[in-house]
Amino acid sequence: MPPNCASRWSRKCTKGKTGMRQNKKIAITGGIGSGKSTVARLIAERGYDVFSCDLIAHEIYEEPNVVREILREFPDCATNGLPDRKKLSAAVFREKERLRALEKITHPAIMRKLYARMEKALSDPVFAEVPLLFEGGYQKDFDGVIVVLREKNARIGAVAVRDGLSEEEVERRIKNQFDYENKSIFEHTVLYNDGDLAKLREKVGSVLEKFENK
Ligand SMILES: CC(C)(COP(=O)(O)OP(=O)(O)OC[C@H]1O[C@@H](n2cnc3c(N)ncnc32)[C@H](O)[C@@H]1O)[C@@H](O)C(=O)NCCC(=O)NCCS
Ligand SMILES: Nc1ncnc2c1ncn2[C@@H]1O[C@H](COP(=O)(O)OP(=O)(O)OP(=O)(O)O)[C@@H](O)[C@H]1O
């Protein structure tokens, strides 16, 4: 089924106070390499609209306002007058304060774009992959949250291979993320990515049933 096709879902969008269509918004989150994008793809395959903050995070580097602010805050991370992702990455993942400064610029721009897209989405529910949901306190803006959990060594190995990073570089990113292993996440829908892709597909099916029947 093509993405954006909501026709097979019997659930109709409800109307809010403004009379505007209101679709239920579900965030997909989890640590680096946990399988968020894979889960997002499996959900999209079933015809739901699914957005990705990772993709939007790349798009905003085309926005003149964002570029200007990043260059002002990180003049040492430019190449040919534009923000250089490699230099930024080397700077921010080593120093929490610099990461917070970058996020202060990027997160509002990312979330603005995401909310605008979700408002226009056709499917109900609509999903969004939001890697830094808890770090940014954005969970309150969603009607539901799916937390994808995967064993740490499997995450590190998969990301190192996928992105050509060293295991130390992956661990550095994990250290800057929400501690899914020690924090209470069990009020949300937890999806354990602890098997092969077929098993994950099955689990995604069960989770979707839960949201369809709510
Ligand atoms: C620092 C940047 C330039 C590094 O770019 P690079 O191309 O090397 O990595 P990329 O963007 O593909 O991210 C790879 C992975 O790193 C992790 N990561 C990215 N940003 C962050 C962050 N702010 N905190 C912790 N982990 C992060 C994510 O798991 C992500 O999937 C870039 O990640 C960035 O602009 N980050 C700030 C925007 C942001 O917070 N993005 C997260 C999605 S909401
Ligand atoms: N159950 C699984 N079986 C085999 N490979 C998997 C499984 N889940 C995820 N992977 C692989 O692990 C890697 C990381 O998964 P994915 O990209 O979905 O994670 P992510 O949480 O979106 O990562 P990031 O935070 O870096 O964006 C990918 O190469 C993916 O194909």
In which band, very low, low, confident or very high, does the pLDDT at 15 lie, cut at 50, 70 and 90? very low
Pocket test residue of 132, 162, 169 for ligand 1, highest count of atoms within 8 A of CB: 132
Q: 212 falls in which pLDDT band (50, 70, 90)?
A: confident
- pLDDT confidence of residue 126: 96
Is the shortest distance between the CB of 94 and ligand 1 below 6 Å? no
Q: Ligand 1: distance of its center to the CA of 22 in Å?
A: 30
Structure tokens at 111: 């979330």
C-beta of residue 56 within 8 angstroms of C-beta of residue 113? yes
77 Cβ below 6 A of ligand 1: no
Asked whether residue 89 is marked as a ligand-binding residue, the answer is: no
User: What predicted TM-score, i.e. pTM, was given to this entire model?
Assistant: 0.86
Q: Is the pLDDT of residue 111 over 90?
A: yes
> When comparing pLDDT for 94 and 63, which is higher?
63
Q: Is 14 labeled as ligand-binding?
A: no
- Give 9's contacts (C-beta < 8 A, 6+ positions apart): 47, 48, 123, 124, 212
Least confident of 19-23, 91-95, 127-131: 19-23
3-12, 69-78, 99-108: least confidently modelled range: 3-12
Taking CA atoms only, the protein residue closest to ligand 2 atom 12 is 158
CA of 196 from ligand 1 middle (Å) equals 26
110 lines ligand 1 (CB under 6 A): yes
State the pLDDT confidence band at 5, using cuts at 50, 70 and 90.
very low
Longest CA–CA separation in the chain, Å: 53
Task: For residues 76-103, give the mean pLDDT.
Answer: 94
- pLDDT number for residue 20: 57
Give the per-residue pLDDT at 130. 97
Q: Which atom of ligand 1 is nearest to the CA of 107?
A: 40
Domains of the chain as residue ranges with CATH = 14-209 (3.40.50.300)
Give the distance (Å) from ligand 1 centre to CA of residue 160: 15
Task: Evaluate whether 49 touches 122 at the Cβ level (below 8 Å).
Answer: yes
The strand pair at 25-30 and 144-149 is best described as: parallel
